[in-house]
Amino acid sequence: MTTNDPAPKHVPVMLQRCMDALAPAISRPGAVVVDATLGLGGHSEALLTQFPDVRLIAVDRDPAALKLSGERLARFGDRATLVHAVYDEIPEVLERLGVDRIDGVLFDLGVSSMQLDEAERGFAYAQDAPLDMRMDQTRGISAAEVLNTYSHGELARILKFYGEERFAGKIASVIVREREKEPFTNSARLVDLVRNAIPAATRRTGGNPAKRTFQALRIEVNGELEVLDRAIPGALDALALGGRIVVMSYQSLEDRLVKQYFAAGATSTAPPGLPFVPEEHQPWLKLITRGAEQATEAEIEENRRAAPVRLRVAERIRDRSTRG
């Protein structure tokens, strides 16, 4: 990785599928599109390249990602505005920039390639590293602090809910017992403890048994579901008539939340039995994807991180002034 080429091996997930999904909304001159999860800037670079009249506003909570993407996107000049913010702060970012409506918004949720690839960030369970997991290392508590300070009940709850871990209680008990001997600092010890806490028969399938624990810790440390729960309605409210939202989720909890917001906007709120549906009760979103689309074999071959992705696209079909 060099300064001149910040991400030579970075292959954005389902890149062309995202461009095609946004195209009907952002192909016109003066269109504004938001990349809610800038990361290494692959999707943003494609948006600026494929749509030469578009203005991009890109946000990321990770200062390191902003620095690398800033170098990558510098050639586009003032067409690209990069902002240090979390994606639930998009309404405030738009207000500061004097932008009333946007024509497209893209969410590529989860951990960025850079965060996974940099061992010292502690996201990857396959290599020993400090247990940090903060997407923005300038604020918040680390994964180590969660492991060393949360009660048994709190640990079991996040492992069960955020990690969908069947053995949450047992793993939490091991963590509480072992931290009394020595506080947790690095990932390798946690991986070994989780592996040993899970029955041997279960360990033989499903990949690394620590995967679910690491997912749960990452979601807790970064408040990912709470942030997403605020971010989706905020982004939808900012969409102009005909604007589109594209969301790629990597685990079921995220996808379920997105599905609920999309379904609510695409469903009539009129009481049953009315002879006609008043405009304020009509759906204000149109679902562009039928359910959640998955990556093709070719897309997975190009980038193995596309394997778990679930993509959903919706379009705003009524102006907010006519919403109920």
- Residues in binding site for S-adenosyl-L-methionine: 41-43, 60, 87, 108, 115
In sign, the C-alpha dihedral spanning 138, 135, 115, 145 is positive
Distance CA 53, CA 41 (A): 18
Angstrom CA distances, 108 to 6, 34, 36, 68, stand at 19, 12, 8, 17
* 3-class DSSP assignment, residue 98: coil
- The token pair at 14 is 């389902």
Can you spell out the DSSP letters for 257-296? HHHHHHHHHTS--SPTT-SS--GGGS--EEE-SSS-B---
| Contact assessment for residue 123 and residue 54, using Cβ atoms and an 8 Å cutoff | no
Could you tell me which residues come within 8 angstroms of residue 216 by beta carbon, excluding any fewer than 6 positions away? Answer: 158, 159, 161, 162, 163, 165
Q: Which residues make beta-bridge pairs with 316?
A: 285
CA angle, residues 254, 255, 257, in degrees to nearest 5: 70
Angstrom CA distances, 219 to 92, 136, 172, 227, 311, stand at 23, 13, 16, 10, 20
**Residue 133 neighbours by CB distance under 10 Å:** 26
Residue 33, phi then psi, degrees to nearest 5: -125, 140
Q: Which residues make beta-bridge pairs with 313?
A: 246
- The token pair at 172 is 């939490």
- Residues at the binding site are 41-43, 60, 87, 108, 115
